[in-house]
Structure 1
Amino acid sequence: DQNEINNQLNKIENIPTNLDINFTNNLNYKDESIKIKITPNLIKRKYPEYKRIIILENKLPNPYINLIPLAILLISAITYLLYKIRKLNTKEITQIIQKLNDLLPRKSYLKITKNNESPEKITDNAKVSDYILLERLGTGATAVVYKAQNIKTRNIVALKLIHKHLFSENWFQERIQNEIEINKILTHPNIIRMLDYNLSDNQPFIAFEYVQGKSLSKIMEEKKKIPLSETLEIWIQILEALDYAHQKGIIHRDLKPDNILIKENKIVKITDFGISKRIDKTLNITQDFVGTPWYMSPEQIKNQKTDNRSDIYSLGVIIYQMLTGKLPFETSENIYAVFKAHMFDNPISANITAESFYIPPDIEKIIRKMIEKDPKKRYQYCYEIIQELTPFLLTYSQK
């Protein structure tokens, strides 16, 4: 009897009026979705046989895609789970969705949309502006980076979600604006492209080109040492990207293996120009203490004026590490010992460090010049290194 059902339901407290769940299929089709609307009030132990509580709205413009069996599976799972719950709160709802996700294919996404959800608590498969978050790629002090898909273009991007609590600080706003302005300038095949940004949205973000591949640090971790022919190929691409940036008046200032990505087709992409600087046109220098200790130039460690020669030094350390499997200077966790080694110690012979892995003397000579303590004794420009390396490309490419 419907009246009896309604009378019983009126006695129940703290039950949500409805629960909206969206299911989206990510198989490169167009606009396919299933919306399931559930009224938990009607799912009680006393009325398990009441089946009309589920309303299914099916919007499938492509007739060849049949999601009905999956929808039935979802409906059964949701009905069972809600039948077991008397009082739903946010934590319990999250647990339900996690269980439902386990039932879905890897490329399907299930979420609850809450209008008052804090941008600081974004979870996988949530929606930010025009992007669906697919997978967390990394977390830093200032942002979280996700693999995401633009729901309009279907393009996959690396979406940098900026920590909102930092965005109220003037220094941080200046840094993000600097990153955006620099990335607008940089359009080179070996530099990650910025595709989109929005700083005025509820969740500030910057969208970058997504690279299907590995970081150089990951490759070195797997291989320990990288063959000379492969190193030369990567080396030249990095030099060309840096030479382009330097000609635009931009120095990276934090070049390290983590910021160098290698695509599956061996194309190199330099990323993270977040602390880069445009060289002052009057002074031709910048002065800030930034960088990663194991790859910082002596002038950076001393907090002195820096220019493109600091990037050349950092790259020299990276190339040395690629070929030998070790850093040229102190590898202690004591940051002061590392700084001291960069400023005063001479690098160990690459051939001694490499042990059985032979490095030609002419290649080692180039590396040593790149990591000279005095910037005046280093290569002054990246194109000079390219010119010296070019004759060796054919010689060593097959070795």
Structure 2
Amino acid sequence: MLACMRLESAGRQTEEEIQEFPKSVRKDSRLRKFARRVVRFFGQPLSHRLIWTVRQLDRPEESFDFLKYEWNNFTEMPRAESPTSKQFLHMSEVIMENGYMLGPKIGSGSYAKVRLVERITDGKILAAKVIDREKAPADYIQAFMPRELEIVQSVKHEHVAHVQEIIQTDKSVFIIMDYAQKGDLLEHIMNNGAPKENTTKKMFKQIVSAVNYLHEIGVVHRDLKCENILIKKNMDIIISDFGFSRRFDQNNKPSKTFCGSAAYASPQLIKGTPYDPRQNDVWSLGCILFILTCGSMPFDDSNIKKMVQRQKDGVCFPSKLKDKINPDIKALIRRILEPDPSKRYTTTDILNNVWLRSQTESNEDEEQA
């Protein structure tokens, strides 16, 4: 394959070069067009990075996004002198030195981006959370980031995003982790609507089992929301983004820090009263289950004062759905979204709930059959 792209003479015609490509490339119009552009653009032996790209031409379709992205990198990014281009080139060089190829951006925040990367040794597609040290607030760099890096390396659970490696430089931090091909839960619901009850059960049980594991090892997530619940290719769930996570006080000393998203926050956190961070995680789980069931948020956060009052009054289900929802689900949601934290379910209570247990037993019966 590589031999096809090492031009013996700069004067050879493009179509002659294309004829030397494998049939799998010539039959695919997208790949053929890409290959033709590469041959026209480069009339000399190819650079190390583009050789790697060309080597992917006869690979499965999921690699095509990398091909398009690499082409743009070579024809556009190196020519520009903007800060964005320099940052990209820095990231690309660092990531390649550590055995990865930098891919397209799939998510972003104020000081962190998530990009696809491909491990050169085996071609595995992973995700990289790239934290910009120069843009991140000082309190994040000094307090939150060290906690995040320590925690993500210590957690080992099938439904928590597995961190493969952490790469640190003076300018950036790269957290290389599992890639969830189906995107996040919010995006999935927006595109497909609320899932069927059996799917909701499976997803929610996986989410709760992961949070229960975190609490058992003394970790609270503190930013559980649908955007941080990712879906793998086989539809299994993984929890990600531990930017606000921390070890909680084993002596049950309450927290006072406001963090996370208001729409998923418990009344105690919003009001600024000391709270058990585990119970705040549980409240967030209730919001997630409500969204899985109804396809909408349980509380409108456009007016925080009104939202706190609605939280005190108890959760209300959409009128068009409330008669169609399984009563066991409604009862569970109410026990999780209980305003009084002393009466609110724990993760253990949720896992022992009749609705989740019956689902597990039915699945086991199906598997045995």
**TM-score in terms of structure 2 length:** 0.74
Alignment of 1:322 onto 2:267: no
Aligned counterparts of 1:66 and 1:363: Cα–Cα separation in 2: 51
Alignment of 1:178 onto 2:147: yes
Aligned counterparts of 1:262 and 1:249: Cα–Cα separation in 2: 25
Aligned counterparts of 1:222 and 1:266: Cα–Cα separation in 2: 15
Aligned counterparts of 2:248 and 2:91: Cα–Cα separation in 1: 40
Equivalent position to 1:244, from 201, 205, 213: 213
Determine the structure 2 residue equivalent to 1:313. 283
- Aligned-residue RMSD, C-alpha: 3.8
Alignment of 1:296 onto 2:261: no
Alignment of 1:137 onto 2:106: yes
Q: How does 1:1-399 map to 2 (within 5 A)?
A: 74-78=38-42, 106-108=65-67, 109-110=70-71, 111-112=73-74, 121-122=87-88, 126-129=92-95, 130=98, 131-166=100-135, 169=138, 171-200=140-169, 202-303=171-272, 304-329=274-299, 331=300, 333-342=302-311, 344-348=312-316, 350=317, 352-355=319-322, 358-379=324-345, 381-388=346-353, 389-393=355-359
- Secondary structure class of the residue paired with 1:181: helix
Determine the structure 2 residue equivalent to 1:11. none
Change (3 A) 1:232 1:205: same
- Name structure 1 gaps, 5 residues minimum: 1-28, 37-50, 55-62, 80-96
Aligned counterparts of 1:316 and 1:71: Cα–Cα separation in 2: 51
Per-residue deviation, 1:302 = 1.9
Aligned counterparts of 2:150 and 2:225: Cα–Cα separation in 1: 22
Flag the structure with larger Rg.
Answer: 1
Aligned counterparts of 1:353 and 1:173: Cα–Cα separation in 2: 48
Structure 1 counterpart of 2:330, one-letter code: E
Tell whether the 8 Å contact from 1:253 to 1:275 is kept in structure 2 after alignment.
Answer: yes
Per-residue deviation, 1:72 = 7.6
Structure 2 counterpart of 1:271, one-letter code: S
Aligned counterparts of 2:172 and 2:23: Cα–Cα separation in 1: 34
- Secondary structure class of the residue paired with 1:376: coil
Change (3 A) 1:341 1:33: farther
- Once the two structures are superposed, what CA deviation does each residue of 1:80-131 show, in whole Å capped at 9, x if it has no partner? xxxxxxxxxxxxxxxxx9xxx9xx96543344569x9967631799443332
Tell whether the 8 Å contact from 2:286 to 2:336 is kept in structure 1 after alignment.
Answer: yes
Change (3 A) 1:354 1:149: same
- Secondary structure class of the residue paired with 1:197: strand
Tell whether the 8 Å contact from 2:279 to 2:341 is kept in structure 1 after alignment.
Answer: yes
Aligned counterparts of 1:165 and 1:390: Cα–Cα separation in 2: 45
Structure 1 counterpart of 2:350, one-letter code: I
Per-residue deviation, 1:148 = 0.8
Per-residue deviation, 1:363 = 2.4
Aligned counterparts of 2:10 and 2:138: Cα–Cα separation in 1: 53
Tell whether the 8 Å contact from 2:224 to 2:285 is kept in structure 1 after alignment.
Answer: yes
Change (3 A) 1:221 1:117: closer
Tell whether the 8 Å contact from 1:190 to 1:270 is kept in structure 2 after alignment.
Answer: yes
Tell whether the 8 Å contact from 1:192 to 1:270 is kept in structure 2 after alignment.
Answer: yes
Tell whether the 8 Å contact from 1:351 to 1:359 is kept in structure 2 after alignment.
Answer: no
Tell whether the 8 Å contact from 1:214 to 1:261 is kept in structure 2 after alignment.
Answer: yes
Aligned counterparts of 2:313 and 2:203: Cα–Cα separation in 1: 27
Change (3 A) 1:202 1:313: closer
Structure 2 counterpart of 1:128, one-letter code: V
Per-residue deviation, 1:167 = 5.3
Per-residue deviation, 1:387 = 1.1
Structure 2 counterpart of 1:345, one-letter code: D
- Secondary structure class of the residue paired with 1:145: strand
Per-residue deviation, 1:288 = 0.7
- Name structure 2 gaps, 5 residues minimum: 13-20, 26-31, 44-49, 58-63
Tell whether the 8 Å contact from 2:179 to 2:232 is kept in structure 1 after alignment.
Answer: no
Per-residue deviation, 1:134 = 1.4
Structure 2 counterpart of 1:375, one-letter code: P
Aligned counterparts of 2:290 and 2:202: Cα–Cα separation in 1: 14
Aligned counterparts of 1:219 and 1:52: Cα–Cα separation in 2: 49
Tell whether the 8 Å contact from 2:182 to 2:188 is kept in structure 1 after alignment.
Answer: no
- Secondary structure class of the residue paired with 2:212: helix
Aligned counterparts of 2:173 and 2:360: Cα–Cα separation in 1: 47
Aligned length: 321
Task: Indicate the larger mover: 130-139 or 196-205.
Answer: 196-205
- Secondary structure class of the residue paired with 1:377: coil
Aligned counterparts of 1:123 and 1:168: Cα–Cα separation in 2: 23
Change (3 A) 1:296 1:210: same
